[in-house]
């Protein structure tokens, strides 16, 4: 009885491992076949570089003034 349960558990684990492997292969293929594009039109992913540059410059100027 225990041997049968162990065999069934081993078989279930084998099936789950095989399913995971197939899912990984499928996901990999989808990524390899996907055409990625630039997302410059999406405001959620754009970085306001002008503001960041202005902020960085202000910090540098403040540091220079402090070091005098």
pTM strictly above 0.85: no
Residue 3 has pLDDT above 80, yes or no: no
Strands (E), 1-68: none
pLDDT at 47: 63
Q: Residue 46 in contact with residue 40, Cβ under 8 Å?
A: yes
- What whole-number percentage of the chain has pLDDT above 70? 81
Q: What was the pLDDT predicted at 49? A: 73
> Using only C-alpha atoms, what is the Rg of the chain?
28
pLDDT at 44: 64
Write the pLDDT tens digit of every residue in 8-39.
899 999 999 999 999 999 999 999 998 877 76
Q: How far apart are CA 68 and CA 48, in angstroms?
A: 31
pLDDT in the model for residue 27? 95
């Amino acid at each position: 009885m225990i041997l049968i349960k162990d065999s069934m558990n081993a078989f279930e684990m084998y099936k789950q491992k095989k399913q995971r492997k197939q899912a990984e292969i499928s996901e990999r293929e989808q990524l390899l076949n996907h055409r990625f594009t630039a997302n410059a039109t999406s405001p959620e992913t754009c970085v306001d570089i002008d503001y960041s540059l202005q902020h960085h410059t202000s910090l540098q100027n403040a540091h220079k003034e402090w070091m005098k």
